[in-house]
Amino acid sequence: MGFLGRALLIVATLVVAVSFKHFRDLTSPQPIPEINLKQYWGPGDVKQYREDASIKPFKVSYGAEVIEKLRTKLSDIPALTPPLEGTAFEYGFNSKRLKEIIKYWHTTYLGKWSEREQFLNQFPHFKTQIQGLDIHFLHVKPKVANNVKVLPLLLLHGWPGSVREFYDIIPKLTTKSDDKDFVFEVIVPSLPGYAWSQGSSKTGLSPSQIAVVMKNLMTRVGFQKFYIQGGDWGSLIGNLMATLFQSDVLGVHLNMCSVQTPLSYPKTFLAGLKPNWFVEEQYIDYYFPFGSKFVGILEESGYMHIQATKPDTIGTALLGNPIGLAAYILEKFSTWTNPAYRNLPDGGLEKYFTLDSLLDNVMIYYLTDSITTSQRIYAEAFTKAEFGRNLDRIPTVVPAACAKFRHELLQQVDWVLKDHFTNLVQSNHFDDGGHFAAMQLPNVLYKDFVQFITKLQRL
């Protein structure tokens, strides 16, 4: 071998060694970082801040003038552009369907607003101050005999949802029944910037930082150790809590399980080459073919790019605009429940949901003027700093369960998930259901969750 050959061999060896070290650095498990439990997110200087640790009752209540102002806005419908001939929801929310919903909202729904307020107030509401922010939450205690085991549970919603998503499942969780020998004491917070929870005045309130706020909330209400169930952002935040606070989270149950690590992408690609090696035949279409799944994500993620880059701009367009707000939010409850609903003139909205339940959720955003602050989580989630943390590279030993509904936006095979969820106790597939499982199929989600907790109680 000549000098050039030896030189090339040395260079090649160095390249391989450096590449291997870089790959090992990228894929090696990471330690839990140091966590600042007192990071201040309120307005002004933290030096002037004195936290009020009291927990105060709260009631959903709006004066007649607020409802009349909304009624006036709903009676002044702009000249909505007619849908293209032969289209349903393929181009977005069908304006014919939108007019029907606006008419129902204006005449029927607002006509019984006092009943809807009473419905929203059926569970006890509270507020408390945490890290400079007023945080709103439901706290529902079970009424059972002293010999019944009561387990603390944190329920976490996402966007464009709210605490309203859990109204049908809360009574099942807090009531004694034949399918379980325990009940839950349930805490359901509005995420910071959502509904009646104050939005941050500072940049940087990312999902990992919200996980800290939620942990502090559970401590505030008296629970050092607890269980978690979440979907959408609630799934990510629940995952992060189970990562950062592994000695305190007793179990985490998620719909829309996902991890983002350097290995998750190549492993997903490899699994797509031979899917039946990684998942049972009847569930392959939940994950593959990867190409069509990726196209589906692209079709439904335009909103994400806007909200991750210019949340305040789109927020300004929607703030105080009930008609635009309803179209923007309810479109997600159509296509994210089942992408095939794009082909239905009514968007399939009432196949699982009632208009009252859907409008309850829209009203929460409208009445609290929270659409802009709710969308900022996207901008904070996609920062260089948040990506740099890559907390999914920290393995979590917390017992975990994934409920996989057929029409969920994102699915990952367990082979990928187990790199992070090292104690994946349960992973069940469901032939129906989409992104808003707690609201769409509360019985199914409830049974899957109880099955998971029952397994943990027997360990």
Structure tokens at 342: 């794009």
- 407 included as an active-site residue: no
Catalytic-labelled residue, pool 40, 109, 194, 232: 232
- Kind of pairing between the strands at 400-405 and 226-231: unpaired
Catalytic-labelled residue, pool 378, 392, 419, 446: 378
Catalytic-labelled residue, pool 40, 328, 435, 448: 435
Q: In Å, how far are 19, 69, 295 from 260, measured between CA atoms?
A: 21, 45, 19
- Kind of pairing between the strands at 149-156 and 226-231: parallel
Q: In Å, how far are 62, 133, 244, 258, 383 from 250, measured between CA atoms?
A: 38, 26, 13, 19, 30
- 435 included as an active-site residue: yes
- 232 included as an active-site residue: yes
Strand-pair partners of 186: 140, 153
Instruction: Spell out the residues 6+ positions from residue 125 whose beta carbon is closer than 8 angstroms to its own.
Output: 57, 58, 59, 60, 136, 137, 138, 196
Residues catalogued as catalytic: 232, 378, 435
